Every structure is written in structure tokens, then in C-alpha cells.
Chain A
Amino acid sequence: MNSGEKLIAKKCKKCGFIQHKDHIRCLKCKNDTFDMIEAQGGCKLITYTILNVPPLEFRDKPSYALGVVQFENGIKALGQIESQKNLKVGMKLAPVYKKICNNLDGKEINDFVFKSIE
């Protein structure tokens, strides 16, 4: 498993706030030193939707489920959920790294999707 396949986030060394790895300075305290932390264990579904009108570049599927999840160590992420059936806020999910779509430039996009482990 190379580093691109780990779900990584930045944890602020000063205030501990966990944020997306794109942030250059902390959203909460402006500090610019972070620990890179990896998502641990399973995650819980915080909220979800089923989108029946995808944007242009996602029209290879007529619809898909999207959810926001939170891991045991606090990392949050948004991603597609493999099944649209039996979704429930609070259910346990696990991340799977795979192709999501081709972007508008034709480039293949790979990232995490989530599957039920209940």
C-alpha cells in the first residue's frame, strides 16, 4: 500500500485540530506545523444523501450515495458509499481505494469510497 492509498489528514501541533491535508495553516489557530495522521479503524456515517442528478463528469452512473464519515481518531471525510441500500446515520463503514470517475480533462480519479461493514 503506497502513501497515496492512505487516508491522511493534518493534525495541528499547537491546537490539535484535524483538517484536510491541503490546508497550509491551521483553520483554528493559524499555526503551520502539523502531524500527518492516518485514519484508524472503522468509521461512522454522520450524514448521507443519494444524488440522482450527478454533475456532467459523473454521469456514467445515474445516481450514487455520498456520505460524510468520521473515523475513531477524529478524521472526517466525504466520499461515495458503495451501496445505496440500508443506509443509516451512525452505521459502520470501511474505506476502499478505487477509481471514482474520469475528470473533465479525461484523467482517471482514484480515491476512497466507503462500504458497509455491518
Chain B
Amino acid sequence: MKKVAIIGVGHTKFGVLENQDLMDLLCDASLEAINDSNTNDENFDSVYVGSMCPETFNHISGVANALVDRIGLLPAAADHIKNGPASGGSAIKAGFQAIASGINSMVLVVGGEKMTHITTPGLVTSAIATITHPKAERSHGASLPSLAGLLTRVYLEKYDAKLDWLSDISIKNHKNGASNPLAHFQRTIESFMESAIKKGKGSWNNIYEFLNDDKTNPIIADPLRLFHICSISDGAAALVLCNAELAKKYCENPVLITGIGQATDTQIVYERDDLTVLNALRESSNQAYKMAKKTPEDIDVAELHDAFEILEAVESEDIGFFKKGEGVRAAHEGLTEIGGKIPINPSGGLKARGHPLGATGVAQVVELFWQIRGEAGKRQVSDVNTGITCNFGGFGNNILSIIVEGM
């Protein structure tokens, strides 16, 4: 198997980007990555584009064909990779396999989504809910937030954890996002509270009172409130991958993808033996650790998929950092902050960086690239050599884990 290097990255601002459509975002991230990699005049063998719902949200299909045409990469092979909210991770896997197999030597991977222009109430949540089981879940009115609510209640009761501790994960991710100039929300939750006080919306003695107020933080899927759930966003992120033997020709400081794993679990969430266990993550991370010859103790930083803050905690357990039932408590105790035992989501995670579905899996690896190269600015974790991601598709029924290391 050939070694696979990342030699350039691109990452648009995430957020409400009114003046850019999906293709603009994919092109911007792609050209930034190509520029960053010093491969401007090189031929790319393949392009993999991860995007979840361009047909529904943007009324376009064939996004990969459109991209290679628009940015002048013809006649590169082009594929649109779809795996729900893990489309970005799956696009990286496709690019990794193309190079590891020796079939390709230069690949562009880009993930993106454009969602914030949709104004029909319930359309985005309905489109995403099409990944749930049509008869056992969706036809009853289940959506991803509701499945997260069901999981949260089981977890909090079973492990005697507190909802305020889950809020600590949101607080941490917003604090990290405040130092990420590309994040959707570059603000702490304290700053949201201070603005609300200034606007005369109420007064609160502390941040937990603010977060438990139905007016400022409404319940979305009981017990989960607005600040326990990521928002929708626009954005794109890209990687240039190449055969590691060629990497130093373009890049002084390449980063390697040394482990990659993917696994599935039951589509019907209640058919899992334990709702609080993500079997697909246990399996996919084991594959990644085995390929990279690493253990969870070797990981310096992680980018996990906190579409709902309970997921960050459950993932931190099933990826091997904490015992089952201890993830929420660990976050509450500060072990996952920058400077803690295992920093999680220094980028701000999905909660603060934002979650343009197809972009997320790629943006996670871009963050690890910057962390490993010491280029993460105010959110830099010290002494990073190895990082791991979790990109969560379906409701935990299709998960990718990717390990990235300095070369």
C-alpha cells in the first residue's frame, strides 16, 4: 500500500454566505487547496466531491463534473460521493484508496454544502430525516434531533449525568470557535448572554441560568435545547492528496493520513443492543488505529462529530478516550479542553464552526493538518503529532475515523 500525504488544504468561511452558491464554495475551497499545495500546473488524476443534498437544497446534480469543468481540471476523473453527513469523510476515503492502491498519484478531495438560503420551515430537517428508516422511524415523525433527544435521555439516566454537563461541551466548543476565524460562530456563550442582557431580554446570574431559560435557549428535542444542537451552515473544505513519495517535491511540511476506517450499524436506532453505544465508531476507529499502528493513548487531539453535544461525549468513549458513561463527566471536568488530557474540537466543532453537511468531514481533517503543522493560531494545541476524526453518517449507522500524523 502506498503512503498518502496531504500537501495542501482549503477552507472557506463557514456560516451564512449569502453571495455564494454551492459551486462557488466548492471552487473556492478547491483552488485554495491547489494553491496551497503548489501543484498549480500539475494534472490531477481524480476529484472526489462530498455533498449530501445538492439535488434538494440547490437543484443541481453532477456537482463533481461541474467542478472539474469550472476550475480547469479536465480530463480528471470526477465522482460525487454521498454518505449523508459523512459525505466529506467518505470522499477522503475514496481519495485515500485511489492513492494507496497506486492507481492515482494526485487527487483533489472537496466537501461542501449550501443550506442557509432555504426558508421553508422544516424542509432541511425533513431532507436530512430521509436517511432514517422510512417505516420504523421517519413515518412516525422521527428526525435526527429527535433521535438525539431519545439517546440523550437514556444516557443521562443510565450514567447519572447532568444536562448542565452537556452544556459544558457547548460552552467549550463556542470558546474554541471564538478563536477560529473561519467558524460560523466566533463567539463564546457568555457573549451571547451579554448581548441578550444588553438587549433587555432578561437577566441571569450565570451562564447555566441563561442556558436553562426557555426564552433564550428553547427546547428543541427534549431534553436537548438549541445550544446543544449545531446550526445549519454554508461552506466548503478541500484537501490535495498525493503519493507520499512525491509530497516533498511540492510541500516542505506534508502531513500523512496513516489510518482510515469505516463501519456501519443498524439503520433502525432502537435495534441496537445499547442506544448509548456507537458500534460503527468502535469498529471504524479500531480499523484506523490498527492501520496506523496507534492506540487512543497516542492521540494528541481529536475532531469529533458534535451535531448534537451528546454525540461528542458518546464518541469520546467509543473512540477509546474514556470508559462508557464517563464522557459527559470528562467534558464537565475540563479534560477535553485545549490544554486538557485529550483536547476535542479545538476548531469549535460542528457546534461553533458550523455544519455544512458535506464539508464537515473534510474540515475536520483540515483542522488536524493545521494543528499538526502548528498553524492553528490561538486555538493551537501544544505538541501535536497525531490526531483522529469521527465523521458521523446516518444516525451513527455509517461512521468514518481518520488518523492523521506529521511526516
Is there contact, CB below 8 Å, between A100 and B140? Answer: yes
Nearest opposing residue in chain A for B120, CB measure: A56
> What's the nearest-Cβ distance from chain B to residue A27, in Å?
6
* Residues in chain A near residue B150, CB distance under 8 A: 47-49, 66-68
CA distance A52 to B219 in the complex (A): 7
Complexed CA–CA distance, A76 and B172 (Å): 36
Could you tell me how many residues of chain A have their Cβ less than 8 Å away from some Cβ of chain B? 34
- Chain A residues numbered 44-90 whose CB sits less than 8 Å from any CB in chain B: 46-59, 64, 66-68, 76-80, 89
Check B139–A56 contact: CB distance below 8 A.
no
A-chain residues with CB within 8 Å of residue B138 when the two chains form the complex: 55
* Least distance between B211 CB and chain A CB atoms (Å): 16
The answer, yes or no, to whether B126 is at the interface (CB within 8 Å) is yes
Interface check B153, CB cutoff 8 A: yes
B154 contacts chain A at the CB level, 8 A cutoff: yes
What A residues does B135 contact at CB under 8 A?
Answer: 20, 22
Across the interface, A51 reaches (CB within 8 A) one of B120, B126, B145, namely B145
Which chain A residue has the least Cβ–Cβ distance from B143?
A: A55
**Given A48-B153, A49-B146, A50-B222, residue A55 in contact with residue B140 (CB < 8 A):** no
Asked whether, in the complex, the Cβ of A51 is within 8 Å of the Cβ of B153, the reply is no
Q: Is A1 an interface residue (CB 8 A)?
A: no
Q: Which A residues are in CB contact (< 8 Å) with B224?
A: 49
- CB within 8 A of B122: which of A59, A76, A89? A59
List residues of chain A with CB within 8 A of the CB of B222.
48-52
Does the CB pair A53–B145 fall under 8 Å? yes
Bound Cα distance A49, B146 (Å):
6
The interface residues of chain B lying within 8 Å CB-to-CB of A52 are: 218-222
Closest to A68 in B: B270
Count the B residues whose beta carbon is within 8 Å of the partner chain — how many?
Answer: 39
Determine the chain B residues whose CB is within 8 A of the CB of A78 once the complex forms.
136-137, 140, 142, 268-270
Do most interface residues of chain A lie in helix, strand or loop, or is the interface mixed? strand
Choose among B133, B141, B150, B223 the residue with the greatest number of A CB atoms under 10 Å from its CB: B141
Cα-based distance from A58 to B121 in the complex (angstroms): 11
Q: B186 at the A/B interface (Cβ < 8 Å)?
A: no
Bound Cα distance from A19 to B270, whole angstroms: 10
Known contacts A27-B266, A47-B275; decide if A66 and B140 are in contact (CB<8 Å): yes
A74 CB → nearest B CB, Å = 12
Nearest neighbor of B148 in chain A, beta-carbon distance = A49
Q: Are B121 and A56 in contact (CB under 8 A)?
A: yes
B122 close to A54 (CB less than 8 A):
yes
Return the chain A residue nearest B265 by Cβ.
A27
A38 within 8 A of B: no
A65 (CB) vs chain B CBs: closest residue: B222
A24-51 with Cβ < 8 A to chain B: 27, 46-51
Bound-complex Cα distance A117 to B222 (A) = 22
- Given A27-B271, A56-B126, decide whether A80 and B221 contact each other with a Cβ distance below 8 A: no
Mask, B116-129, CB within 8 Å of A = 1, is 00001111011001
A48 to chain B: closest CB distance in Å?
Answer: 7
Interface centre among B218, B268, B269, by most A CB within 10 Å? B268
Contact of A57 among B126, B266, B268, B271 (CB under 8 A): B126
Closest Cβ–Cβ distance, residue A3 to chain B (whole Å): 15
Answer yes or no: B252 CB below 8 A from chain A CBs.
no
B288-304 interface bits toward A, Cβ cutoff 8 Å, 1 = contact, 0 = none: 00000000000000000
Which 5 residue pairs spanning A and B have beta carbons closest together?
A49-B149, A55-B126, A56-B122, A56-B126, A50-B222
19 contacts across the A-B interface (CB closer than 8 A): A47-B150, A48-B150, A49-B149, A49-B150, A49-B152, A51-B143, A52-B221, A53-B143, A53-B220, A55-B141, A57-B126, A66-B140, A67-B150, A68-B275, A76-B271, A78-B137, A80-B141, A109-B139, A111-B139
Residues of A within 8 A of B (CB): 19-20, 22, 27, 46-59, 64, 66-68, 76-80, 89, 100-101, 103-104, 109, 111
